[in-house]
Amino acid sequence: MAEVWPIEQVVLVGFMGSGKTSVGAELALRLGWPHLDTDEIIERAERRKISDIFQNSGEQYFRTLEARATGALAAQKEVLISTGGGWMMDPRLPAMLRPAATLVWLEVSAEQALHRLGGTEARDCRPLLASPDPEATVRRMLAEREPIYRTADHAISTDGLSVADVATEIEMLLRSHQ
Ligand code: S3P
């Protein structure tokens, strides 16, 4: 596929629990591209977990790191990038990768996101959900963010689909837009 592939970067965006990291890993394998995850890049650079960064340095600092990590990805070609759920909320970040990048929104309902994020461990990794009422938080944040996710180049509905199913849908979609 790579020899006729005109797309330089594929960037997965969407809410927490939409499957960006797991689908990204699967899709990158299929494309034969490296998989880069902005949250992982940040954790590696900081040598600490996202939850630690939020707790001890604050969300604003995390967002600065997210912008820095994105800037460093701009020159990379033929890479699959998974982002954090808030990545698109600052328009400067997608602008750093566009127009070379194709942004794919992994759409997820509040119910499905809550189901996928149901485990305590999954929630512990996501400081923004550490609220007394995670369900209300997910619904509110999703409602606020959906109009922005919608500005991605493509949308894939992930509810009820496996990681492999979603990867296949994206692969087909990308091929059809060659
Ligand atoms: C965030 C989502 C997280 C991580 C950070 C902030 C958000 O990534 O970047 O906790 O603002 O939605 P995932 O979407 O991979 O959980």
**What would the pLDDT profile of 67-97 be if each residue is shown by its tens digit?**
999 999 999 999 999 999 999 999 999 999 9
pLDDT tens-digit profile of 121-160? 666 678 888 888 888 999 999 999 999 999 999 999 999 9
Instruction: Confirm or reject: Cβ of 20 under 6 Å from ligand 1.
Output: yes
Q: Is the CB of 84 under 6 A from ligand 1?
A: yes
Q: Using the atom order of ligand 1, give the atom closest to the CA of residue 59.
A: 6
Rounded Cα distance, 21 and 36, in Å: 9
- Whether residue 109 is predicted with pLDDT greater than 80 in this model: the reply is yes
Is the CB of 123 inside a 6 Å radius of any atom of ligand 1? no
Percent of the chain residues past pLDDT 90, beyond the cut: 80
| Spatial separation of the C-alpha atoms in residues 22 and 2, rounded to whole Å | 21
